[in-house]
Amino acid sequence: IQEGINLMKTEVPEVTVFPKSPVMLGQPNTLICHVDNIFPPVINITWLKNGHSVTEGFSETSFLSKNDHSFLKISYLTFLPSDDDFYDCKVEHWGLDKPLLKHWGRENGSAGSKELLGLGSGVMNLLFLGLGVVIRNKNVKGLVR
């Protein structure tokens, strides 16, 4: 009987947003909004681009049942990655006090230009350090002979 009571409890959905494949600027991709722990199976999932409702280019699965009697649902949005755009998966459900916005932007999906510049500088510094050690060791060996 206790198990039946738990089945009637409204759950708080868990939302995750991620790209289908590695993000490359200008290359078409798909954002995935994975909504888990849904009960009851009544939910509204919408997409926002730069804060505005998206009206096309998205699809979603039907409710997928899980062993714990909750459900999951997945929404897909095709998009063209750009440095300037950001996206939100908006989830409305009885288990939430207010709509939940799960944010995704380039900073979530792949390294931006600042990160790549920092990484490149770090690699160059290591190369120069290694080169300096090799030259120094050759000079020391030349002095010992």
Task: Output the pTM of the full model.
Answer: 0.69
Q: Are residues 118 and 101 in the same domain?
A: no
Distance CA(116)–CA(112), nearest Å, equals: 6
Q: Residue 7: what pLDDT?
A: 52
Mean pLDDT score of the chain, rounded to an integer?
A: 81
Q: Are residues 144 and 91 in the same domain?
A: no
- pLDDT above 60 for 114: no
The CATH number for 63's domain is: 2.60.40.10
Q: Are residues 103 and 121 in the same domain?
A: no
Q: Are residues 56 and 74 in the same domain?
A: yes
Percent of the chain clearing pLDDT 90 (strictly above): 65
Over residues 11-39, mean pLDDT: 97
Q: Are residues 118 and 103 in the same domain?
A: no
Q: Residue 9: what pLDDT?
A: 80
- At 93-105, the pLDDT tens digits run 999 999 999 999 8
Tell me which amino acid residue 134 is: V
Q: Are residues 67 and 124 in the same domain?
A: no
Q: Are residues 115 and 95 in the same domain?
A: no
Q: Are residues 80 and 124 in the same domain?
A: no
Q: Which domain holds residue 132?
A: 111-145
Q: Are residues 43 and 68 in the same domain?
A: yes
- pLDDT above 70 for 139: no
Name the domain count of the chain. 2
Q: Are residues 16 and 87 in the same domain?
A: yes
Distance CA(132)–CA(129), nearest Å, equals: 5
Are the CB atoms for 43 and 61 separated by under 8 Å? no
Q: Are residues 44 and 94 in the same domain?
A: yes
Q: Are residues 101 and 47 in the same domain?
A: yes
Distance CA(143)–CA(121), nearest Å, equals: 33
